[in-house]
Structure 1
């Protein structure tokens, strides 16, 4: 736990340093939209996507003229998965404080391709669903069932229609996020997989 917090603090510090040292040249913005998330697992073939929300602040700093930029973000991202079993459908929701750092490459003045990495820290967890009998349920669950720290790769594309930005992005989690034996994931590994669509306002 302490090592996890230490690693996340380093990542957060890197983002804050990037914000402060590049402030004079950077463009800033706020972005938000939808997450369509699932888990990569070895033994679970379910492909139902969970829909969640994400919102963040970001800084975009030119590195090479108007061609290459560094984009640093900090915000909240709702991930998780839907699971169908013999007892009904269950939705597992995981909320993360997330820090993506990406390089953005301009193609013309309209299209930008981006790639980089992200680090995130688990804030909350919830399980909800409906039984075969039609009864609904929703409960917060302990975050101890999951690893505190997640990280991975990110790729995406966006178009700038100043001051609006419209884009899509994919996050590929690298570590197993299951800490203990939890429900349908007993004894197996799961990694976050998230497709993101967003709209941003840049100033």
Structure 2
């Protein structure tokens, strides 16, 4: 396999406190996303996933988040998560396209307001994803749901997994941060 199998109890795959099956919190996901997306290599991979492979960044980050905590999902659960996007995805894509089109025509203050509004749409989408996630069965002995999602998008999108996942060093850092 491509190194994307994660097992509870494996190095970097230990289930960490703070995320319990069926009890995911949108605020915790948002904080994880802000931190993880803030890494240049993750941001670049997310934009490639979105722009070149028509993937959903919020879904990819949610999958990275649960994987970081040692959880996975069955393929049918991933289908349910994708279905949860249906309410917001079209609106978010249309707004993102409009924002990008208007960028050269608006001032920086207006553009920042547009970005902030898009972030609110992202938060609403994450709420829908977390609600759907909490209705799924979480697994602890399964292949990476994030790697599976990347492979579903396209053969070349599978290469994005390495940049999108949380590395064991980051996991150790997040464990340390929880105790401070």
- TM-score where L is the length of structure 2: 0.27
Larger radius of gyration: 1
Higher fraction of strand: 1
Greater relative CO (CA pairs within 8 A, separation 6+): 2
